Structure 1
Amino acid sequence: MIAIIDLKAGMTFEQDGKLIRVLEASHHKPGKGNTVMRMKLKDVRSGATTETTMRPDEKVKKAFIENKDVQYLYSQDDTANFMDSETYEQYEIPTAIIEDELKFMLDNMEVKIQFYGSEVIGITLPSTVVLEVAETQPSIKGATVTGSGKPAIMETGLVVNVPDFIEAGERLEINTSEGTYQKRIK
């Protein structure tokens, strides 16, 4: 059992037969009353997200999640295919479960598959990925890093706001947790 106050973003717990992942968790002290935890939660199996408040002293059963290093091979129809680099065992994951993560993934990329028992519940991306800009507006002469930016479509279809000086064909480091531009790779 784990206290609600100890839950952090990314942790997974069991509640009422559901597997719940914490997306956001913060302490909140209202003007009157006791401290509560404001949480944004996602049902891992259904994909439904909810926002709720819980008392910090409540307890939930922490779910044991196992991670396995795999290589992303390709997506076909509504299935993404992965291979364990050591045993060459292949895994198929419905794209509906990992549609947000697929926007950051290129063929042959190393990721981690998350297992709850023998059930595949998702994947873990590296903290940053390098993607090429497929399409963006032409760069603006004299543009600086502090400009308002412009949207850029990456090679995977991900849309990222980038500085005005970025051009199509450039390689960029993208933060996978926030989907934001980090830096240009030369």
Structure 2
Amino acid sequence: MIAASDLKAGMTFLQGDKLIKVLEASHHKPGKGNTVMRMKLKDVRNGGVVDTTFRPEEKFEQAMIETKTVQYLYSMDDTAYFMDLETYEQYEIPVDAVANELKFVLENMEVKIQFFGSEVIGVQLPSTVILQVTETQPSIKGATVTGSGKPATMETGLVVNVPDFISTGEYLEINTAEGTYSKRATK
């Protein structure tokens, strides 16, 4: 069992039959009264997000989440296919369960799959990925980093705001947590 005051962002716990992931957690001390834990929680199975508060001493059963390094193979119809690199076992995950993550993943890229028992509950991305710009407005001569930027479509379909000097065909490092441009990269 784990106390609400010990829950941190990224941790997963059980609440009844629901598998809950902590997105944000903070202590809050109102002017009068006791300290409470403000949390933003996500139901892992149905994707629902809720803001709530708990007393710091409330206890929860911590969920044991395992991860395996896998290779993303492809998506067909409404299913994404991944393969374990050691056993060559394939995992099928509904595309709508991992739609946000697939915006950052190319075929044959290595990612981690998260399991709760034998149930696949999600895909864990690296902190940054390198993607190629497939479409953007032409670069502007004399543009600087401080400009407002322009939208660029990456090879996965992801659209990010990039500086004005970026042109089609360049490789960029993209922050997967925020979905933002980090810097130019080489492939």
| TM-score, with structure 1 as normaliser | 0.96
Q: Take 2:39 and 2:133, find their aligned partners in 1: how far apart are those partners?
A: 35
Aligned amino acid, residue 69 of structure 1: T
User: How many pairs were matched up?
Assistant: 186
Structure 1 residue 98 displacement after superposition: 0.5
2:63 corresponds to 1:50: no
Task: Give the unaligned 5+ runs of structure 2.
Answer: none
Q: Take 1:141 and 1:26, find their aligned partners in 2: how far apart are those partners?
A: 46
Paired position in structure 2 for 1:82: 82
2:151 corresponds to 1:151: yes
The 5-angstrom pairing of residues 27-66 of structure 1 reads 27-66=27-66
Paired position in structure 2 for 1:114: 114
Structure 1 residue 30 displacement after superposition: 2.1
Paired position in structure 1 for 2:137: 137
Structure 1 residues 40-80: Cα deviation after superposition (integer angstroms, max 9, x where no partner): 11111111111111122211111000101110000000000
Structure 1 residue 140 displacement after superposition: 1.9
2:17 corresponds to 1:17: yes
Structure 1 residue 32 displacement after superposition: 2.3
Which secondary structure does the structure 1 equivalent of 2:101 belong to? helix
Q: Take 1:159 and 1:5, find their aligned partners in 2: how far apart are those partners?
A: 37
Q: Take 1:26 and 1:184, find their aligned partners in 2: how far apart are those partners?
A: 35
| Higher mean displacement: 137-146 or 36-45 | 137-146
Aligned amino acid, residue 111 of structure 1: V
Aligned amino acid, residue 68 of structure 1: K
Ranges of 4+ aligned residues in structure 1 off by more than 6 Å:
none
Structure 1 residues 96-144: Cα deviation after superposition (integer angstroms, max 9, x where no partner): 1111100000000001111100111111111110001111122222111
Which secondary structure does the structure 2 equivalent of 1:96 belong to? helix
Q: Alpha carbon RMSD of aligned pairs, Å?
A: 1.1
Q: Take 1:139 and 1:33, find their aligned partners in 2: how far apart are those partners?
A: 57
Structure 1 residue 29 displacement after superposition: 2.3
Q: Take 1:147 and 1:6, find their aligned partners in 2: how far apart are those partners?
A: 42
| Higher mean displacement: 135-144 or 94-103 | 135-144
Identical residues among aligned pairs (%) = 76
